[in-house]
A and B are shown apart, each in its own frame.
Chain A
Amino acid sequence: MEFFRGLVLGQYVPVDSAIHRLDPRTKILATLLLLTVMFAVREFAGLAILTVLLVAVALAARIAPAYLLRGLRPLFWLLVFAVVLQVFFGEPGGHPMFRWGPVVVTRENLAQAAFYGWRLLLLVLSTTVMTLVTSPMEFTDGLERLLRPFQRVGVPAHDLAMMMTIALRFIPTLLEEAEKIMKAQMARGAEFTRGSLPTRARALTPLLVPLFVGAFRRADALAVAMEARCYRGGEHRTRMHVLRFGPQDLVAVTVVAAAAAFALIPPAAWRGH
């Protein structure tokens, strides 16, 4: 259950740093920009620039390296798999470095593998840093503001944000309830951890049915409680916390945009100067 909690609620660590204090919109946009650039970059130099930026951000946010590594752990085998695939089954031709039976490892394929591996690492690292420095609530707020302009073309910005808020509120409650039901069923001899996969799946039914019934009852009661507190959707609604795009956000956006631009300039252009 702890595992689920971490998975769904992110791994936000409340620390007071310049990065943590940034407007969530800045953090979301910067992350999106970096992700896009990572896909567009063609050269090692670009990846190096982005890496330097990410490390600098992580240091400024006072993130313990252990947290970053923990974020990377689930990815480890995917990374190994991608690299191996690229090394052994990359494009034919090029300069062979060594051969092993029918398998030829070329310099080009090795370089490609390193490039893809590095890129994958950066993609995960940047989103990990983002979730470490942004609380889910801030993220929701930021997303709502960012999507608001698109409301006119039918993006339900407020409803999405309200759904996320309620999910954040009720996930711990529902997990507690699941634990309680599980224990109650186990006390009556139910097995959740033994047997074949179909058996285990079937064993989940007596857990899921009461959980869903309970969730629907909660949803009903919550809807009434929200109405009783004058809720009528996003219109005319104000917020206690107002997001402020301050000078520090301008600095952050500029730095990220500059790094992104540099990362995209091919090294040949550098040498030209």
Chain B
Amino acid sequence: MRAAPSTVSPLITVRDVHFVYPAGGGVGTPALAGLDLDIAPGECLAIIGGNGSGKSTLAKHLNALLLPTAGEVRVDGRDPEGAWLARQRVGMVFEHPDNQIVAAIVEEDVAFGCENLGLPSAEIRARVDRALRVVGLEQLRRHPPHQLSGGQKQRVAIAGVLAMRPRCLVLDEATSMLDPLGQQEVMEIAFRLCRDESLALVLITHAMEEAARADRIVVLAQGRIVLQGSPAEVFAREDELRRLRLEPPELVRLGRALARDGVAVPPGALTIDPLVEALIAGP
């Protein structure tokens, strides 16, 4: 794995984790079935997979919202027994913008996590100011959240996580309810944080264009990792993806179609420029 060099010890290790949701009466089907995963500090990892493949369940294991039925999850080398450490180190932004904002004023909501950590007031103030600046919401600090757009709400949620100074940010389909502009707002901030603040980013998404921008993609099916590698490697396995009800991004499919027609498309092209160049160069 190119993004997880063996010299750096991983930020999060998931070892042979099994998880079964407690079902009424009998034993339910396992949501995670023996999953191994390392997440390196500062890497950008995308997790894709069909509905019900276990992505959200895995995400909730990363900060001890769920504890494995068997196996183990370590954050920063420590077993997050009390869940406390893990939740400070690993921040989560969920799908529905409305259902994760607690306070009736933007800055109060950003402060919520820090207040739970029991930080002194001045420290919270400083962190909140900085987090709001990072996501570009200083102007809206005193606004009630229900007046914000979906993208702005998700940025508030990101700011609330940032203020807790995490090492990893998990976005569980955080852009799926947003319009294209909102999606872009949120993704740009997430990728910028990963690049500039060396925050590890775990991107759970159904949008293959988003996944294509990650360092590494992990594909889940039935609670297991069935495919992983760089975006170019993963998206090259089109047949396998199709069997998992997934599809490479449009650009990759376009590149493949062009290659079939004899255009010299470089293998693993994920962006528009190499395609344009190949087209200009001609067959």
- State whether these chains interact: yes
Residues of chain A having any CB pair with chain B under 8 Å: 136-137, 165-166, 168-169, 172-173, 176, 217-218, 221-222, 224-232, 236-242
Q: Please give, as numbers and ranges, the residues of chain A lying within 8 Å of B146 by CB-CB distance.
A: 169, 172-173, 176
Determine whether the beta carbon of B103 is less than 8 Å from that of A165.
yes
**Smallest Cβ-Cβ distance to A172: which chain B residue:** B146
B251 located at the interface, meaning its Cβ lies under 8 Å from any Cβ of chain A in the complex? no
> Chain B interface: which size bin?
35 or more
Given contacts A229-B113, A241-B121, A218 and B98 within 8 Å (CB-CB): yes
Do the beta carbons of A237 and B118 come within 8 Å of each other? yes
Closest 9 CB pairs between A and B? A225-B100, A221-B99, A229-B113, A240-B111, A230-B116, A168-B104, A240-B124, A172-B146, A169-B104
Q: How far is A212 from B108 in the complex, measured between Cα atoms in Å?
A: 27
Contact across chains for B124 and A229 when beta carbons are under 8 A apart? no
Specify the chain A residue showing the minimal Cβ separation from B96. Answer: A221
Residues of B within 8 A of A242 (CB): 121
Cross-chain contact A227 with B87 (CB below 8 angstroms) = yes
| Residues of chain A with a CB closer than 8 A to B164's CB | 229-230
Check: B114 CB closer than 8 A to any chain A CB: yes
Contact A238/B145 with A221-B94, A229-B160 known, Cβ cut-off 8 Å: no
For B92, give the chain A residue with the smallest CB separation.
A228
**How distant is A12 from chain B, measured CB to nearest CB, in Å?**
11
Q: How far, in angstroms, from A230 to B112 measured CA to CA in the complex?
A: 9
A227 with B94: in contact, given A218-B99, A222-B100, A240-B125 (CB under 8 Å)? no
How distant is the Cα of A137 from the Cα of B119 in the complex, in angstroms?
21
Whether B254 is near chain A, meaning CB under 8 Å from some CB there, is no
Most chain B beta-carbon contacts within 10 A, residue among A222, A230, A238, A239: A230
CA distance A165 to B104 in the complex (A): 7
- A240 CA / B119 CA spacing, docked (Å): 9
Q: What is the predominant secondary structure among interface residues of chain A facing chain B?
A: helix
Q: Which residues 115-132 in B have Cβ within 8 Å of A in the complex?
A: 115-121, 124-125, 128
Whether the Cβ atoms of B104 and A228 lie closer than 8 Å is: no
Residue B63 interfacial (CB < 8 Å):
yes
B172 → chain A closest CB, angstroms: 10
B65 adjacent to A231 (CB under 8 Å): no
Chain B residues near A168 (CB-CB < 8 A): 104
Q: Are A221 and B118 in contact (CB under 8 A)?
A: no
- Using Cβ atoms and an 8 Å threshold, which residues of chain B touch A169? 101-104, 145-146
B125 and chain A: residue at smallest CB distance: A240
Bound CA span A182–B121, Å: 43
If A169-B103, A229-B102 are given as contacts, then 10 extra A-B residue pairs at C-beta distance below 8 Å, sorted by A number, are A165-B102, A218-B99, A225-B102, A229-B113, A229-B116, A238-B118, A239-B111, A239-B121, A240-B108, A240-B115
Could you tell me if A166 and B124 are in contact, using CB atoms closer than 8 angstroms?
Answer: no
In the complex, chain A residues whose CB is within 8 Å of the CB of B60: 224
Q: Are A136 and B121 in contact (CB under 8 A)?
A: no
Q: Is B105's CB within 8 Å of the partner chain A?
A: yes
List residues of chain B with CB within 8 A of the CB of A237: 115-116, 118
B21: Cβ under 8 A from any A Cβ: no
B12 to chain A, nearest CB (A): 15
Q: Which residues of B contact A165 (CB under 8 A)?
A: 102-104
Given contacts A239-B121, A242-B121, contact A166 B102 (CB under 8 A): yes
Collect the chain B residues with CB atoms within 8 Å of residue A221's CB.
94, 96, 99-100
Contacts of A240 in B (CB 8 A): 107-108, 111, 114-115, 121, 124-125, 128
Asked whether B112 lies within 8 Å of A229 as measured between CB atoms, the reply is yes
